Amino acid sequence: MRAIIQRVTKATVTVGEEEISSIGRGLCVLLGVSVEDTQKDADYIVRKILNLRLFEDEGGRAWTKSVVDRDFEVLCVSQFTLQCVLKANKPDFHLAMPAELAQPFYNSILENMRSSYKPELIKDGRFGAYMQVHIQNDGPVTIDLTSPTGPSDPKQLSKQEKQQQRKEKTRSKGPSESSREKGAARSKRDPNASSGADGDVSSDREP
């Protein structure tokens, strides 16, 4: 699981002309869930988002207070493109957890965050929708977080990818068929939507 955490003065999400979400000071989190992620990754990411010391204290001393300490808000938006593997200059997203699995998992992460803090201070985008995320990055301050068991760099991704492919070749059926079944389960959605992975965003279908 990868999270891009931006410290913000404010952030909003619009879908078309409609503003669907808005926060003041706090964190805007773009969250990318991979096919390999488990509850352990989710718990780690939630804990870090809420406890990272990215804010100053009342005396202006930097890097001393968390979003929880300051009673600030969190806007979390699903972002499968963070699970990108590059084939030369072509992004490939087959390591992203497919939307039909990612959506309930992502919702459980939000619930976890709400129950660990104040529910009314945790905001969301709209899963799978084509959004404009307006981020006023304050500083700027941006932290790139990877859960301990998640993939981390292009080389590791390549290795993981190969392992994954080997696994898929050798087994007939198993509990994590998600990536094999992904093609079949894909729904037709806005080709620009990139909040949840689906067929339209894979570059596999290209020549």
We find the least distance from the C-beta atom of residue 154 to a copy of itself, in angstroms, to be 7
Indicate whether 207 belongs to the interface with a copy of itself (CB under 8 A).
no
Told to check if 123 binds a copy of itself by CB under 8 A, we report no
CB atoms within 10 A of CB 40: 12
Residue 119 touching a copy of itself (CB under 8 A):
no
CB of 63 to a copy of itself, least distance (A): 5
Q: Which member of 146, 160, 164, 179 binds a copy of itself (CB under 8 A)?
A: 146
SS3 79: coil
- By beta-carbon proximity to a copy of itself, the closer residue of 163 and 177 is 163
Contact between 201 and a copy of itself (CB under 8 A)?
Answer: yes
Using DSSP's 3-state secondary structure scheme, residue 78 falls into strand
Distance between CA atoms of residues 69 and 111, nearest Å: 20
Residue with tokens 């909003």: 12
Site of tokens 């094999």: 180
Q: How far apart are CA 85 and CA 65, in angstroms?
A: 34
Q: CB under 8 Å to 96, separation ≥6 — which residues? A: 32, 33, 34, 35, 80, 81, 83, 102, 197
Report the interface residues with a copy of itself, using CB under 8 A: 2, 4, 6, 9, 30, 48, 51-54, 56, 60-64, 66, 77, 79, 81-82, 84, 86, 89-91, 125, 130-144, 146, 148, 152-156, 191-195, 200-201, 203, 206
